[in-house]
Amino acid sequence: MVKQDTQREQTASMEHYLEAIAILSAGKRAVRVKQMSDLLGVTMPSVTSAAKKLSEQELTEHEKYRHIKLTPEGARVAGDIIHRHTALTRFFAEALGIDQATAEEGACKIEHVISPLGMERLAKFVEFMEACPMGGANLPGRYEYYLEHAELPPDCRMKGVKTR
């Protein structure tokens, strides 16, 4: 059973298109070129050409003048991208205290360049922050205090809490 190197690495651009298809096809079955061009802020020809490339890689199917849809493989890849997007957005919003919209924006840029390891660790970090009742649930709160007052919050100055 030869495991061939499928060599399916995408450019940031192609990932972006793939993601858009996944997002727009949530619910509906049909993704129109127009919808994509509107969402992504590019022209329709750009979408057409991206769809062509993705279809050559069998990540999408696109009948001419008709709608675009993901193949199972395409859905898998897109799912992965969206997963990155979500985790990054959470990190920016929940850990760094950046507003949702700006957090999304940031995630959009970084989701295409971050390494698998970086991604995994970042996700785990957010998880940890939220799960740990001490460093966790309150860390964002304390961090916000720090952001606002430019000094450590009172409870951080508390002594005697040994942690190892």
Partner DNA sequence: CATAATTATTAGCCGTGTCTAACAATCAAA
Partner DNA sequence: TTTGATTGTTAGACACGGCTAATAATTATG
- Positions touching a copy of itself (CB under 8 A) are 92, 95-98, 102, 105-106, 109-110, 113-115, 117-118, 121-122, 124-125, 128, 131-136, 138-139, 141-143, 145-147, 152-153, 155-159, 161-164
Q: Which stretch binds DNA (CB under 7 A): 1-9, 41-49, 97-105, 147-155?
A: 41-49
Question: Is residue 8 a contact residue for DNA (CB under 7 A)?
Answer: no
Is the alpha carbon torsion for 126, 130, 136, 141 positive or negative?
positive
How far CA 66 is from CA of 26, 45, 75, 98, 146, in Å, comes to 18, 14, 19, 39, 53
Quote the CA–CA distance of 117 and 101 in Å, as a whole number.
25
| From the list a copy of itself, DNA, none, partner contacted by residue 8 (C-beta under 5 to 8 A by kind) | none
| From the list DNA, a copy of itself, none, partner contacted by residue 157 (C-beta under 5 to 8 A by kind) | a copy of itself
DSSP H helices in 33-161: 33-40, 44-56, 72-90, 100-110, 116-131, 139-149
| From the list DNA, a copy of itself, none, partner contacted by residue 48 (C-beta under 5 to 8 A by kind) | DNA
Among 1, 4, 9, 41, binds DNA (CB under 7 A): 41
Quote the CA–CA distance of 41 and 30 in Å, as a whole number.
19
The whole-angstrom distance between residue 94's C-alpha and the CA centroid of its chain comes to: 14
Among 8, 28, 44, 155, binds DNA (CB under 7 A): 44
Structure tokens at 116: 């698998």
Choice between 79 and 136, CB closer to a copy of itself: 136
Residue 64 φ/ψ, nearest 5 degrees? -50, 135
| From the list DNA, a copy of itself, none, partner contacted by residue 132 (C-beta under 5 to 8 A by kind) | a copy of itself
Residues that bind DNA (CB under 7 A): 11-14, 16, 32-35, 37, 41-53, 62, 64-65, 67
